[in-house]
Structure 1
Amino acid sequence: MNVTLEPLKPENREQFIKDNQEAFNYGAMVEFGMRDNHFEEDNQIISREIIEMSIDGGEAYRIMVDGNPEGGLILRVEGDKGDLDILFTSPRIHSKGVGYAAWCEVEKLHPDPNEPKEEARDLDDQFPEGMFRFEKKIK
C-alpha cells in the first residue's frame, strides 16, 4: 500500500468536503453508535462551514492510497506552531494504517529543522506500539 499526500486542487474541493462528512458520519454513527442526535447541520456531524473555514485557513491535502483519493487532512501552520485541523479516511479503509501513514507523510512535509538528518528517527521505531499523539512543534 503506497500512501502519499497531494495538495487539494480547487476542482476537487466539493468531493473533499463530501468525503470528509461521510467519514465523520461513519465514525460517529457506525463505529461509535448514536449517543445523541447532535448534528452541526443537515444530519452532518461536521458542517460544510467548518470544513471550508479549515480549508481556507490551512493547507489541505488528499490522502492518496495507490493513486486513489481515500481521505484528507488539513494542516494549519502559523509561525513556529503547527496544528492538525482535520484528518479523515474513507470508511472502506478504516483500521488499515492509512491515517498513520498519512501522518508520516506530514512529518516529511514539515520536518523538525532542529533535528539533524543523520539522527532522524524512523517513525515506526519511534512508535513501536502504533500509538502516537498529533503534536508537532516547528521552530
Structure 2
Amino acid sequence: MVKIKKMQETQVTLARVDSRDLPDFKTEMEAAFAVAVIEEFGSLPDGSIPSGSDLDQSITAPGTLLLHILCDGRRVGGAVVVIDEVTNRNALDLFFLSPREHGRGLGFQAWTAIERMFPKTVVWQTHTPYFEKRNIHFYVNKCGFKIVEFFSARHPDPHFPGPSGLPGGGEMFRFEKIM
C-alpha cells in the first residue's frame, strides 16, 4: 500500500496596510517588480520600479486601499485597489507577491479573496507591461480577465500620457474582468 502525503492547505487572507507599514510595503513591492525587469532586460533602470512618485500618486488616489497578502498569517505580497462605490468599476492598480512565493497558487487565492472582499464590483480593471508574460498568463488564463487595450507610442494611455519609466518603451496592456 502506497501512502500519499496530503499537501497542507494554505490560508491566504488580506489585511489593510497600516500607515506604519508603508515603508516596508513599498520596499517589498519594488523588490517584487524588480525581478521581472531584471529577468527581461538584465538590469534595472535608474530609480525604482514603480517610481516613488508613481507609487505615491497611486496610493493616495481617492478610493485607494492598500492590502497585505498573508499566507498563514505571514506577509507574502500586497495589492493596491481603487474602489469606486458609485460605479462599482474598480481597479487593481498594483499586485505583487514575493518572488520566493511564486508558483504556489497564492496569487490566485489572493485575487479571489480580493473579489470576495468587493462583491458589488461590476468590472475590475488592471494593467501590466507587455513584457510581463507571467502577469499576462495570470490575469488572462487564471483570473479570467480579457485584454481590452494595448498602449504604446502610437496609442498612449490617456491617463498616463508621459513616459512610464519602465524599460521597453512603456508598452502596456489594459485588462478588464466583467463580473
**Shorter-chain TM-score: what band?**
0.7 to 0.9
C-alpha root-mean-square deviation of aligned residues, in Å? Answer: 2.3
Greater RCO (Cα-Cα under 8 Å, separation 6 or more): 1
The aligned amino acid for 2:75 is: P
- The match for 1:75 is 81
| 1:48 maps onto 2:48 in alignment | no
The 8 Å contact of residues 112 and 137 in structure 1, kept in 2 or not, is answered as no
Secondary structure, aligned partner of 2:119: coil
The 8 Å contact of residues 3 and 102 in structure 1, kept in 2 or not, is answered as yes
- The match for 2:101 is 93
Question: Could you say which structure has the larger radius of gyration?
Answer: 2
Q: 2:143 & 2:83 partners in 1: Cα distance? A: 23
TM-score by length of 1: 0.75
TM-score by length of 2: 0.59
Q: Which has the higher strand share?
A: 2
Q: Which has the higher helix share?
A: 1
**Identity across matched positions, percent:** 26
- Extract unaligned runs of 5+ from structure 1: 115-128
Distance 1:49 1:38, change over 3 A: same
- Extract unaligned runs of 5+ from structure 2: 1-9, 123-140, 146-174
- The match for 1:65 is 71
Distance 1:99 1:45, change over 3 A: same
Give the length in aligned residue pairs.
Answer: 119
Which segments of structure 1 move beyond 4 Å, counting only runs of 4 or more?
Answer: none
The 8 Å contact of residues 144 and 177 in structure 2, kept in 1 or not, is answered as no
| 1:130 maps onto 2:142 in alignment | yes
